[in-house]
Amino acid sequence: MSDFMMSQVQGLLAKVADDVDKMGKTHNAQTDMVLGAINDLAANLFATQAILCVLLRDHPVNPADVKAWISAQTGSPTEAPKAHAVVDLLLSFDKKN
């Protein structure tokens, strides 16, 4: 292989290395942004749950009515088991304290 061809290959390899480095930096920045958004969402959800728990002390609701509403929205009583579990968690707040 001639020196010219070798220098061309080295130049292309250097460009590929730069591109891979840029991709890594972009990926890290995007990951940080997503993790920040997830953290903000978690904080918002936690605050919302706290407000609901405090409100439910003064305005109790029937868990069966809430679960029936969820089932009506999803079309199936078994479609949203996590939502049903959150209902149990939120409505049992005072029982734990």
Q: Which residues contact 74 (CB under 8 A, 6 or more apart)?
A: 80
pLDDT digits (tens, 9 = 90+) for 80-96: 999 999 999 888 876 65
Please state whether the predicted TM-score (pTM) of the whole model is above 0.95: no
Cα–Cα separations (whole angstroms), residue 85 to 16, 26, 71: 50, 38, 13
| 51, 74: one domain | no
| 8, 31: one domain | yes
| 72, 88: one domain | yes
| 51, 81: one domain | no
| 25, 49: one domain | yes
User: 67: closest CA among 53, 82, 77?
Assistant: 77
Report the Cα 19 to chain-centroid distance in Å: 29
Whole-number pLDDT of residue 45: 94
| 8, 24: one domain | yes
User: 49: closest CA among 5, 91, 3?
Assistant: 91
Whole-number pLDDT of residue 95: 65
- Give the mean model confidence (pLDDT) for residues 3-29: 93
Q: How many domains does the chain have?
A: 2
Residues composing the chain: 97
| 74, 32: one domain | no
Structural domain for 70, as ranges: 60-97
pLDDT digits (tens, 9 = 90+) for 26-82: 999 999 999 999 999 999 999 999 999 899 989 999 999 999 999 999 998 788 999
| 85, 44: one domain | no
d(CA 94, CA 61): 13
Whole-number pLDDT of residue 94: 64
